[in-house]
Amino acid sequence: MNDKQQLLNEYSEWIGKVKEFGVLEEGYWNSPIANGKWTVRDVVCHIMRWDEYFFNEAIAKISTGDALTVRHLDYDAFNEEAKQYAKTLSTEALVDRTITAREQLIRTIEALPETKYEERYADGDGHPFEVAQFMRDFIWHDNHHLAQLNQALQVG
């Protein structure tokens, strides 16, 4: 298995986890991952919003040959918006959108020709952007939050 396929496999593990969490009761979704921290719902929505952002501003643009508009954002403001957005969605809608957002990223990355996949792009701030590194960063990010979500499962 090549590096791209290996990364895609790891990157898609999030989908299975969200499906597992999706069958759990509302109490789990509304419980904080730790004392005074975000709820499970907030964490899942946060990842979904980042997936949508990176799809729209980077991955979709790479697939169509357009300039990347992804840029370094104020993470706190972005995450706060995601937390507020989480309150507007039912758990079912959040699960569906989260899965759809990640599947869209995976399908688009899978379909990229090797040259586009391996190219180094400039993001909206002029910094280098590479698809493989993007996936590595978000696999780490997923795993960081999955540890918290699993912990909340033990506590709950």
What is the pLDDT averaged over residues 21-29?
Answer: 93
pLDDT of 152 reads 82
What is the pLDDT averaged over residues 140-150?
Answer: 93
58: nearest Cα among 139, 140, 116:
116
**Predicted confidence band of residue 151 (pLDDT cuts 50, 70, 90):** confident
Q: How far is CA 128 from CA 10, 50, 102, 106, 139, in A?
A: 23, 18, 22, 21, 19
Q: Please name the amino acid found at residue 145.
A: H
What is the pLDDT averaged over residues 64-81?
Answer: 95
**Predicted confidence band of residue 39 (pLDDT cuts 50, 70, 90):** very high
> What rounded mean pLDDT belongs to the chain?
94
85: nearest Cα among 101, 68, 71, 70:
101
Confidence check: pLDDT of 121 > 90: yes
pLDDT of 24 reads 93
**16 near 148, Cβ under 8 Å?**
no
What is the pLDDT averaged over residues 51-60?
Answer: 98
Where does residue 51 rank: exposed (0-12), middle (13-18), buried (19+ CB within 10 A)? Answer: buried
What is the pLDDT averaged over residues 100-128?
Answer: 97
Global pTM reads 0.94
CA distance 103 to 101: 6
CA distance 49 to 44: 9
CA distance 28 to 129: 36
Largest CA distance in the chain: 47
